[in-house]
Amino acid sequence: MIQQLHHVCILTADVEALGGRLHDALGLPVPPPARVVSGPTLELRTTMLPIGNGTYLQLLEPHSGPGVAELAAAGEGALFEVAFKVDSAERAAKEAANRGITPTSLNGLPLANGYAVAGSGSRYLYLPSTSTGGVRVELIEPASPAG
């Protein structure tokens, strides 16, 4: 099911500022323009920085919904999630269900198909943190290299 670590997501109040600092400190690429994700229960900006071997650092700037409380409580640079690349989100959702785990959206709501499709075309699901020892875990089937 899991192929590799896909990305680690950290929270920030300013995607561009943090991306610039990481570029200066670590020599990471200048971040691509942030995507705006907006829906009835969340609003955020995000970008993915390639760090090599198909692994990324996601910067997440939450405005409403998931991540807002975590950023307020833990501050800039707080770990938000760990994401693993899977070959099939559909299969990962079925395997989770077979283990008695209900896949959810980022908001923690059950997913009708067991997975969701991002604007990028990537298919993904979250495992409830109660099943992963408190860690927010995303399983992602990237549609493109930067997923």
Summary count for the chain: helices (H), strands (E): 3, 8
Phi, psi of 70 (to 5 degrees): -65, -40
Phi, psi of 94 (to 5 degrees): -65, -40
Beta bridge partners of 83: 7, 138
For the stretch 27-39, pLDDT in tens is 988 889 999 999 9
pLDDT at 119 over 80: yes
Could you give all domains of the chain from N- to C-terminal order, each with its CATH number?
A: 2-141 (3.10.180.10)
Q: From CA 30, how far away is CA 24, in angstroms rounded?
A: 9
The pLDDT of residue 145 is 56
Report whether 122 contacts 141 (CB < 8 A): yes
Residue 95 CB burial class (10 angstroms; 0-12, 13-18, ≥19): middle
Task: List, for residues 59-85, the tens digit of each pLDDT value.
Answer: 999 999 999 999 999 999 999 999 999
- Do 114 and 90 contact (CB within 8 A), yes or no? yes
Q: Using CA atoms, how far apart are residues 96 and 56, in angstroms rounded to an integer?
A: 24
Q: For residue 5, is pLDDT > 60?
A: yes
What's the CA gap between 111 and 109, in Å, rounded?
6
The pLDDT assigned to 134 comes to 92
Residues in the chain: 147
Residue range 130-140, pLDDT digits in tens: 999 999 999 99
Indicate the pairing of strand 79-86 with strand 137-141.
parallel
